[in-house]
Chains A and B, each alone.
Chain A
Amino acid sequence: MVTRLLRGAGFGLPLIPLIFLAVFFFYPLASIMLLSLAPEGRPDLSAFSTVLGTRRYLDTLWFTTWQALLSTLLTIGLALPGAYVFTRFRFPGKSLLLSLATLPFVLPTVVVAAAFTALVGPRGVVNEGLMSLLGMESPPVQLQRTLTLILIAHVFYNYAVALRMISGYWANQSTRIEEAARVLGCSGWRLWWEVRLPVLRPAILAAAVLVFIFTFTSFGVILILGGLRYATLEVEIYRQYNTFLNLPVAAALSLVQIGSMFAMMIVYTRLQRGIVVDLQSAQQVARKPRSRWDYTLLGANVLLMVLLLFTPLLALVHRALTVGGGLTLTHFSGLGENPRGSVLFVPPVIAVQNSLIFALVTTLLAVSLGVLTAYLLSRQRGRGRLSLTSWLDPLFMLPLATSAVTLGFGFIISMDRPPLDLRSSRILIPLAHTLVAMPFVVRSVLPALRSIAPNVREAASVLGAPPWAVWRYIDLPLISRAIIVGATFAFTVSMGEFGASLFVARPDTPTMPIVIFRLLGQPGIANYGQAMAMSVILMAVCAAAFVLIERLRRAGVGEF
Chain B
Amino acid sequence: MLHARDITVSFDNTAVLRGVDLRVEPGEIVCLLGPSGCGKTTLLRVIAGLEHADSGSVHFEDQPIDRTPVHARGFGLMFQDFALFPHMDVARNVMFGLKMQGMPNQQREDRMREVLQLVGLADFEAREVTQLSGGERQRVALARSLAPNPRLLMLDEPLGSLDANLRDRLVIDLRAIIKRVGLSAIYVTHDQHEAFAIADRIAIMNAGRIEQIGTPQQLYRQPGTVFVARFLSLNNIVPVLEVNGTAVKTAIGTLELSEPPADGDGDWHLLVHPDGLSAARNEHTGCLEGKVIECVFQGSAYRLRVDLGDHIEFEFDQPAAGNHIPCNGDTITLYYEQSALQLLR
Contact = CB atoms under 8 A, between A and B. Distances in A.
A174 interface: yes
Among A194, A199, A201, residue most surrounded by chain B Cβ atoms (within 10 Å): A194
Contacts of B100: 184-186, 190
A454 B89 CA distance: 44
A183 B71 CA distance: 5
Given A190-B100, A199-B87, A201-B87, A183 B81 contact: no
Nearest to B88: A198
Contact of B71 (A174, A177, A186, A201): A186
17 contacts: A180-B144, A181-B85, A183-B50, A183-B75, A184-B97, A184-B148, A185-B72, A185-B97, A185-B148, A186-B71, A187-B72, A194-B96, A195-B85, A198-B87, A198-B88, A199-B86, A282-B81
A455 interface: no
Interface string B65-102: 00001111111110111111111100000001100110
A186 B70 CA distance: 9
A7 interface: no
B33 interface: no
Interface of B: 48, 50, 69-77, 79-88, 96-97, 100-101, 144-145, 148
A177 B77 contact: no
A528 B284 CA distance: 104
Given A174-B83, A176-B83, A183 B48 contact: yes
A176 B85 contact: no
Of the listed residues A180, A182, A186, the one surrounded by the most CB atoms of chain B closer than 10 A to its CB is: A180
A195 B144 CA distance: 15
**Which 10 residue pairs are nearest across A and B when measured between Cβ atoms?**
A176-B83, A185-B100, A184-B97, A180-B83, A187-B71, A198-B87, A182-B70, A183-B77, A176-B79, A185-B71
A387 interface: no
A281 B81 contact: yes
A381 to B, nearest CB: 29
A180 B87 contact: no
Contacts of B75: 183
A180 B75 CA distance: 11
B69 A179 contact: no
Given A185-B101, A185-B148, A186-B100, A179 B87 contact: no
Interface in A2-32: none
Secondary structure at chain A's binding surface: helix, strand, loop or mixed? helix
Most buried by A among B69, B76, B79: B79
B79 A181 contact: no
A54 interface: no
A280 interface: yes
B71 A182 contact: yes
A551 B137 CA distance: 43
Contact of B74 (A174, A185, A199): A185
Contacts of A184: 71, 76, 96-97, 100, 144-145, 148
Nearest to B73: A183
Contacts of A187: 69-72
B77 to A, nearest CB: 4
Given A185-B101, A198-B87, A199-B86, A180 B79 contact: yes
Nearest to B77: A183
A500 to B, nearest CB: 42
B83 A179 contact: yes
A176 B137 CA distance: 15
B81 A280 contact: yes
Nearest to B76: A183
Contacts of A177: 83-86
A354 B86 CA distance: 54
A169 to B, nearest CB: 13
Given A183-B76, A187-B72, 17 more contacts: A177-B86, A179-B77, A180-B83, A182-B50, A183-B50, A183-B145, A184-B76, A184-B96, A184-B144, A185-B71, A185-B101, A186-B96, A187-B69, A194-B96, A198-B87, A199-B86, A199-B87
Given A182-B50, A186-B100, A199-B87, A176 B70 contact: no
A15 to B, nearest CB: 44
Interface string A134-160: 000000000000000000000000000
A187 B101 CA distance: 12
Contacts of A190: 100
A470 to B, nearest CB: 44
A282 B69 CA distance: 22
A199 B34 CA distance: 33
A293 to B, nearest CB: 13
A351 B33 CA distance: 73
B54 to A, nearest CB: 12
A185 B75 CA distance: 9
B101 A179 contact: no
Interface centre among A182, A186, A187, A195 (most CB of B within 10 A): A182
B81 A174 contact: yes
A317 to B, nearest CB: 40
Contacts of B96: 181, 184, 186, 194
Nearest to A287: B11
Nearest to A187: B71
B231 to A, nearest CB: 25
A190 B101 CA distance: 12
Contacts of B97: 184-185
Contacts of A176: 79-83
Contacts of A186: 71, 96, 100
A177 B88 CA distance: 12
B344 to A, nearest CB: 36
A177 B80 CA distance: 11
Contacts of A198: 85, 87-88
Interface in A252-273: none
Question: Counting chain A CB atoms within 10 Å of each CB, which of B50, B76, B85 scores highest?
Answer: B85
Contacts of B77: 179-180, 183
Contacts of A183: 48, 50, 70-71, 73, 75-77, 145
A201 B73 CA distance: 29
Nearest to A199: B87
A194 B148 CA distance: 17
Contacts of B76: 183-184
Contacts of B71: 182-187
Contacts of A182: 50, 70-71
B86 to A, nearest CB: 7
A198 B92 CA distance: 13
Nearest to A182: B70
Contacts of B69: 187
Contacts of A174: 81, 83
